[in-house]
Structure 1
Amino acid sequence: MATALVAIIVFGILVLIHELGHFTVAKLVGIKVHEFAIGMGPKLIQVKKGETSYSIRALPLGGYVRMEGEDEKSDDLRSFNNKSVLARISVIFAGPFMNFVLAIALFSIIFYSIGAPTTRIQEVMDQSPAQTAGIQSGDIIYSINGEKMDTWQNIIDTIGKSQDNSIHITIVRNGDKIEKTVKPTRDIETNRATIGIKTTIEKSIGASIRNGFVAIKAITTGILGFLKGLITRESNAAAEIMGPVGIINLVGQVARTGWIDVVNLTAVLSVNLGLMNLLPIPALDGSRILFLLVEMLRGKPVDPEKEGMIHLIGFGLLITLMLFVTYQDILKLFS
């Protein structure tokens, strides 16, 4: 029961923020919004304020913002299809964009709570390449090979890519910049190039936000790599794709380990939701944006009925895929 409750809260937050993006920008550009719904299926609660109905529906998966003239022809001056292409793209893009904003906020909260690694060195290992080069605790790594280092992750990645070649490090010590040349060694456990330093952990809002962006970049790169692997058949879709049942099970597992892990999972799912919605798949936001870009290039819109049919077919395929993935998730639970 607790797992289901946490899962509903997580899904609810993700959908609420996504749909709130569509809703807010639609209102800002003057589009008439008939309904703002969280969930799908039968209505549980509905409140009408002005021209818009706000509802919570029985199935806590998905949601929608129903706008005048979005999927049908309308002569209303405030309809979706009577707004400029840029205005409509802004409305569609706002949903995925808000998922990325949510992820940044959640990651920033996590990094601030546990402390964010900084570019200041806390400890230099004995007999390490850094100690041999004269680097000291308290030094700040300013740049490596001329590239400015903003986060600890940048430092790790840059040193890791050095392939054991000597690197030129600019450090800041007592306000002065000092140049050092260091030859990394390879860590036996991780098989990564290292120079033998540890970072300082600080509770900094700025560092937490920067690390939030770094985390999103890493997750996005991983997702795109996985999708590329699906095309080249290097990724195992059956083992790695997870549907609602699998996510609920995962939420239940992380809920037992503490709130930070739940927040972290929510942030990861938010990045996934935002990025997947931007893909040019029929029925998703990315496809709608693609049709609007085509309209911008052609100077006239694609036939709404044809576009609607494409989205309908895409929606059907997505539902079929979700049912298949859910079936696989259930098999995994009992295997």
Structure 2
Amino acid sequence: MEMLKIVLYIFCMFFLVVAVHEWGHYYFAQRAGILVREFAIGFGPKIFSYKRKETQFTFRLLPFGGFARMAGEDPELVQIEPGQRIGVKVLDGLVQKIYVDELTNPRNVIFGEVVHIDLEEQLCIELNVEGDSFKFQVDPQAIIVNKKIGTQIAPKNRQYASKTVGQRALAIFAGPLMNFILAFLLFGVYVQMTGVPVDNPTYIQVGEVTQGKPADVAGLKKGDIVSTINGVSVHGDQDNMINIITQSKDVPMKWVILRNNQKMNLTVTPRAIEGQEGGKVGVALVLPTRSAGFLETFKMSGKYTFETSKLIFSGLHQIVQNFSLNDLGGPVRTIEETGKIAKSGIEKMIFWTAMISINLGIFNLLPIPALDGSRLVFLGIEAVRGRPIEPSREGMVHFVGFAMLFLLMIAVTYNDILRLING
């Protein structure tokens, strides 16, 4: 049952941070009038799919990412050339469906050879039907059917490239922006669930106890209140308590604790931990808290968002200065760490999800080809020079960048798996 809960937590975390990111792209693209063909969670083969209005919503096999595919970004429609035989289904004077093959054998469809076709600007088709020429106007939401698969046409004004630089930039930036907003809201939920430290605390409580560490061996439990250490009252001075423990490496300490209002005497011997100075006992200390008001929650959410962003940027700076594959974590390590956090309770999981959301937002804003940050750079260049960069060149940059990111992800995942195998 515990494993099922952890799996559910991990799934919900990935789904939430990815869905919110892609929803930002989707919503602001729609607001700009761009046709969003697909809203996908995950990559690879489709597992589940349904269509709502103009957009196909899909869940794909690999849940580590997603995309909002906008009209005009990729080659997407079957090319129809003059002389090609097609069929058109007309309703109320407008072409509603265009059939590029006769495999479906549709009823009430007019077949003929294409004389002229424009599905972007004039929205018209001229057909030669048994020697006679017929002109048809095309519905802006007409469907092209090829081998029983329908794809909606995208007139010029519904394509990504037809929008202003500002509209396109907002549609791209909205994804990372939504990740920051999500993190802010999740931090707010965390503050409401855990409260804020009281002023002038009178006691310190034991939070999480690490299995196998001195505190666990001595019998400390989550929720214990530390009364005295070596006969000295602790009160609410957390820094002093940590200092006493640090200076008592390998020295037995007499702790008096309160558990369910009953005094208990325990002997705790701090031990050294590799990479850290002094003695450690393996507990997370918790100060008494009170409920947070609205303004306090808003302030704390902003503080957590800012401090987490600062921490991530600091980590990126260190990676650039001293690159090591061991400092990078892919999906495997993220799942591993999320599993550990999930065991600590829903509050810690909410805090962790907020951190992952900020991480995703910042990562996508980096000016790396194939990421949102790179696309924003190209839009900035377009705004300065007054015309866009050749689409084929920009597409090649993004393709190379995506290939490099994919190879890096394979290397990181391989390294993570080796690390797990080797312990």
Cα shift at 1:63: 0.8
Q: Helix, strand or coil for the counterpart of 1:40? A: strand
Cα shift at 1:50: 2.1
- Aligned equivalent of 1:85, options 143, 165, 187: 165
Relative distance call for 1:14 and 1:70 in structure 2 (3 A) is same
- Aligned equivalent of 1:99, options 154, 164, 179: 179
Correspondence for 1:69: 72
Correspondence for 2:360: 273
Correspondence for 1:264: 351
Correspondence for 1:4: 7
Structure number with higher helix proportion = 1
User: 1:44–1:57: 8 Å Cα contact kept in structure 2?
Assistant: yes
User: 2:194–2:347: 8 Å Cα contact kept in structure 1?
Assistant: no
Correspondence for 1:217: 306
* Unpaired runs of at least 5, structure 2: 77-119, 121-154, 204-238, 244-286
- The letter of the residue matching 1:258 is G
Higher RCO, Cα 8 Å, sep 6+: 1
TM-score (norm: length of structure 1) = 0.74
User: 2:194–2:289: 8 Å Cα contact kept in structure 1?
Assistant: no
- The letter of the residue matching 1:112 is Q
Relative distance call for 1:187 and 1:239 in structure 2 (3 A) is farther
Correspondence 1:166-177 to 2 at 5 A: none
Q: Distance in 2 between matches of 1:323 and 1:82?
A: 36
Q: Distance in 1 between matches of 2:242 and 2:289?
A: 22
Cα shift at 1:224: 1.3
Correspondence for 2:391: 304
- Aligned equivalent of 2:42, options 36, 39, 42: 39
Report % sequence identity: 39
Relative distance call for 1:199 and 1:252 in structure 2 (3 A) is closer
Cα shift at 1:71: 4.1
Cα shift at 1:232: 2.3
Structure number with higher strand proportion = 2
Q: Distance in 1 between matches of 2:8 and 2:201?
A: 43
User: What's the CA shift string for 1:132-151, capped at 9, x where partnerless?
Assistant: xxxxxxxxxxxxxxxxxxxx
Relative distance call for 1:56 and 1:320 in structure 2 (3 A) is same
Correspondence 1:198-209 to 2 at 5 A: 201-209=290-298
Q: Distance in 2 between matches of 1:212 and 1:117?
A: 15
Cα shift at 1:328: 1.4
Cα shift at 1:199: 9.2
Q: Distance in 2 between matches of 1:72 and 1:310?
A: 16
Correspondence for 1:51: 54
Cα shift at 1:59: 1.4
- The letter of the residue matching 2:407 is T
Correspondence for 1:122: 200
Relative distance call for 1:248 and 1:330 in structure 2 (3 A) is same
User: 1:108–1:205: 8 Å Cα contact kept in structure 2?
Assistant: no
Q: Distance in 1 between matches of 2:375 and 2:74?
A: 11
Q: Helix, strand or coil for the counterpart of 1:77? A: helix
Correspondence for 2:315: 226
User: Does residue 28 in structure 1 map to residue 31 in structure 2?
Assistant: yes
Q: Distance in 1 between matches of 2:56 and 2:375?
A: 24
The two structures, once aligned, show a CA RMSD in angstroms of 2.4
Q: Distance in 1 between matches of 2:363 and 2:197?
A: 30
User: Does residue 247 in structure 1 map to residue 334 in structure 2?
Assistant: yes
User: 1:45–1:56: 8 Å Cα contact kept in structure 2?
Assistant: yes
Correspondence 1:160-171 to 2 at 5 A: none
